[in-house]
């Protein structure tokens, strides 16, 4: 079997958690491959809303295995809190949650370094979620990091102390004030907790399962425009959020990747700093934010809003090799009588149709096409035959432009508010 991949095509928060939950019945294993608690994946069913940060979004479906892969960075405090909060749902975490020995650990001092670095950047700050993501991946690639497998070794405390001493020197450089003791006590409680969980060699496990015909869905976090290589650098996260990240973050070879589900909102949002060509810093943007409840699932920050951006989407579809598209939050556009689609940019005096190198320092002006809105509530629609004709036209237009079928359309946050199209 091949592993399918599901990931975000914009700047995160596209609705990945919801669609993973919807698709989980078709799979045996759901595996997160990168990122960490900077992610906030929302699932809604039975009138309850859940937000997951480190745990894969297949956890609510019985008899499905959920793996936190080697590419993920784990904060033991947050993982413990997440699991504690889910205890009331009778999930068997020992059976259904598996953690890679090779996943890196976020230390309390990584979080402090994240905050210190952001403070030092002043108005150029990334707008990090301050979960310690950047410093942890820096220690991983700098070959200093601590991994989950290390917590079972006798010299773990010694290695922890050594890394913390290094971090404390860096914090002096930043002239950053902090109090570490209480954070450390919670952190070591979290480490003890992880010792009691099911820790495995996940690359062997996943490959054996694929060999034996099991179906695997790799769940991405963040979005492709936040990717460390292809995102709007330096306003990005520190991991590989694109399809290739599923290979390195799970140990699945490129020739074992099957379908790639690319998720996008019918419009566009971004949280944190950095370029956003189609951003609407006006009452239309505010209306998208209000109607779409666009406030971050992890930090509660208001999300910046704008119209859909086709050059950016074509770029991320290309980088990811997307085979199926999922369009989210279509219901929010019901509140607009006319819908704008950014088709080109004006860039350095020229009209271009691709995502250029420098979108940070050079102004990128969006060029729009107008499409008629449908002015009809979609939240109760459950089959394609009931789509208003303007909505079907919007879908056809996007499919023609993006050259990939839109196989899933989402019309509300609930599991049931999902239409699978046979295209």
Q: Which of 3, 5, 15, 280 binds ligand GDP (CB under 6 A)?
A: 15
Sign (positive or negative) of CA dihedral 303, 340, 412, 66: negative
DSSP letter for 270, please.
E
Site size with ligand IMO, rule: CB under 6 A = 24
Asked if 13 is an active-site residue, the reply is yes
Angle (CA) 391-395-398 rounded to 5° is 135
Please pick, among 41, 50, 53, 104, the residue that the annotation labels catalytic. Answer: 41
Q: Scanning residues 222 to 251, which ones bind ligand IMO (CB under 6 A)? A: 222-223, 226, 237
Residue 404 makes contact with ligand IMO by CB under 6 A: no
Please report how close the Cβ of residue 290 comes to ligand GDP at its closest, in angstroms.
Answer: 12
Structure tokens at 262: 């690319």
| Residue 237 binding target from Mg ion, ligand IMO, ligand GDP, none, CB below 5 to 8 Å by type | ligand IMO
Residue 359 makes contact with ligand IMO by CB under 6 A: no
Which contiguous run of DSSP H or E holds residue 258? strand 257-265
Closest CA to 225 of 262, 266, 252, 280: 262
Q: How far apart are CA 257 and CA 172, in angstroms?
A: 45
| Residue 328 binding target from Mg ion, ligand IMO, ligand GDP, none, CB below 5 to 8 Å by type | ligand GDP
For the beta carbon of residue 301, count every other beta carbon within 10 angstroms.
13
Residue 134 makes contact with ligand IMO by CB under 6 A: yes
Piece of the chain touching ligand IMO by CB under 6 A; list 97-105, 131-139, 355-363, 371-379: 131-139
Residue 419 makes contact with ligand GDP by CB under 6 A: no
**Residue 377 backbone phi and psi in degrees, to 5:** -65, 130
Strand partners, 352: 345
Rg (CA), the chain: 21
Which contiguous run of DSSP H or E holds residue 96? helix 93-96
Residue 411 makes contact with ligand GDP by CB under 6 A: yes
Q: How far apart are CA 250 and CA 285, in angstroms?
A: 38
| Residue 135 binding target from Mg ion, ligand IMO, ligand GDP, none, CB below 5 to 8 Å by type | none
Residues that bind ligand GDP (CB under 6 A): 8, 12-18, 40-42, 44, 297, 328-329, 331-332, 410-413
Binding site for ligand IMO (CB under 6 A): 8, 11-13, 35, 38-41, 126-129, 131, 133-134, 221-223, 226, 237, 271-272, 297
């Amino acid at each position: 079997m091949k592993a399918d991949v599901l990931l975000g095509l914009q700047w995160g928060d596209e609705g990945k958690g919801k669609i993973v939950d919807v698709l989980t019945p078709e799979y045996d294993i759901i595996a997160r491959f990168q990122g960490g608690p900077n992610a906030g994946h929302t699932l809604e069913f039975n009138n309850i809303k859940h937000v997951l940060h480190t745990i894969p979004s297949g956890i609510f479906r019985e008899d499905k295995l959920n793996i936190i892969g080697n590419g993920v960075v784990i904060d033991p405090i947050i993982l413990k809190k997440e699991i504690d909060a889910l205890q009331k749902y009778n999930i068997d975490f020992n059976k259904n949650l598996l953690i890679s020995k090779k996943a890196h650990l976020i230390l309390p001092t990584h979080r402090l370094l994240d905050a210190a670095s952001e403070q030092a950047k002043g108005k150029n700050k990334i707008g990090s979620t301050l979960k310690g993501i950047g410093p942890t991946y820096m220690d991983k690639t700098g070959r200093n990091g601590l991994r989950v497998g290390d917590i079972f070794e006798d010299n773990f405390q010694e290695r922890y102390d050594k890394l913390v001493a290094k971090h404390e020197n860096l914090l002096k450089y930043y002239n950053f004030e902090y109090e570490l003791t209480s954070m450390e006590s919670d952190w070591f409680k979290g480490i003890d907790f992880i010792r009691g969980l099911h820790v495995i060699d996940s690359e062997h496990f996943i490959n054996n399962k694929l060999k034996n015909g099991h179906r695997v869905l790799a769940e991405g976090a963040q979005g492709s425009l936040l990717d460390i290589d292809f995102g709007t650098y330096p306003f990005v996260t520190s991991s590989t959020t694109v399809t290739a990240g599923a290979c390195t973050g799970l140990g699945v070879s490129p020739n074992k990747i099957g379908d790639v589900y690319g998720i996008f909102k019918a419009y566009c949002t971004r949280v944190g700093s950095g370029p956003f060509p189609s951003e609407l810093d006006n009452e239309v943007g505010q209306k998208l934010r209000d109607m779409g409840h666009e406030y971050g699932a992890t930090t509660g920050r208001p999300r910046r809003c704008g119209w859909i951006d086709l050059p950016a989407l074509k770029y991320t579809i290309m980088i990811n090799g997307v085979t199926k598209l999922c369009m989210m939050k279509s219901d929010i556009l019901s509140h607009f009588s006319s819908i704008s689609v950014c088709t080109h940019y004006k860039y350095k005096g020229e009209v271009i149709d691709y995502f250029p190198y420098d979108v940070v320092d050079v102004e990128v002006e969006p060029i729009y096409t107008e499409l008629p809105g449908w002015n009809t509530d979609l939240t109760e629609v459950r089959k394609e035959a009931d789509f208003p004709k303007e909505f079907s036209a919007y879908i056809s237009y996007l499919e023609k432009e993006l050259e990939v079928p839109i196989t899933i359309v989402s019309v509300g946050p609930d599991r049931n508010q999902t239409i699978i199209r046979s295209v």
